[in-house]
Amino acid sequence: MNKTKRQETSTHNSQETQAAAVTSRLGLFLRVLLVGIFFGIVLVKSEVVRWQRVHDMFLFKELHMYLIIGMGIAVAAAAMFWIKGRHLRSVDGRPIAYVPKPYHTGVVLGGMCFGAGWAITGACPGPIFAQIGAGQWMAWLTLAGAMVGMYAYAFLKPKLPH
């Protein structure tokens, strides 16, 4: 009798923890979605999503893109300096930590491939999704290419120098 009751309580508890986990995951997704919407709007309104802007950047015809990237780095660096100095935590109470991306040959070789693709398509991964959302149907081809490229890397990874 007692045992059954204890079992019931434990099932009840685990159900509660499960429900709490689902709620916190949904909350996380909602907050991520909001930041995504914010960034998508910024990408379009800054015109970083326009092929012409990227082309003119590589032609050194205008500083627009360089200034945006430079300002973005400066603001992000100041914010990270502040966050690290004050040991701030995320809204769900976890410490904020940046995990450094390591150096390997791919940083150079992959970096060059990426830059070449950026110059041709006029879009890095963020703008691809912003263009698609904005109704630029041709951007689905860029995304399809990017998926093929990702699969090519997945396939070649064991053979490529790292």
Closer to another protein at the Cβ: 4 or 100? 100
Does 149 engage in binding with another protein (CB under 8 A)? Answer: yes
Work out which of 19, 20, 21, 74 binds another protein, going by CB under 8 A: 74
**Does residue 21 belong to the site contacting another protein (CB under 8 A)?**
no
- Listing DSSP states for the chain in one string gives -HHHHHHHHHHHHHHHHHHHHHHHHHHHHHHHHHHHHHHHHHHHHTTTT-HHHHHHHHTTS-SHHHHHHHHHHHHHHHHHHHHHHTT-B-TTSPBP---PPPP-HHHHHHHHHHHHHHHHHS--HHHHHHHHHTT-TTHHHHHHHHHHHHHHHHHHTTTS--
Residue 152 found at the interface with another protein (CB under 8 A): yes
Q: Does 85 bind another protein (CB under 8 A)?
A: no
Interface residue with another protein among 9, 15, 23, 153 (CB under 8 A) is 153
Of residues 102 through 131, those in contact with another protein by CB under 8 A are 102-104, 106-126, 128-131
Contact letters for another protein, residues 27-66 (x by CB under 8 A): -xx-xxxxxxxxxxxxxxxxxxxxxx--x--xx---xx--
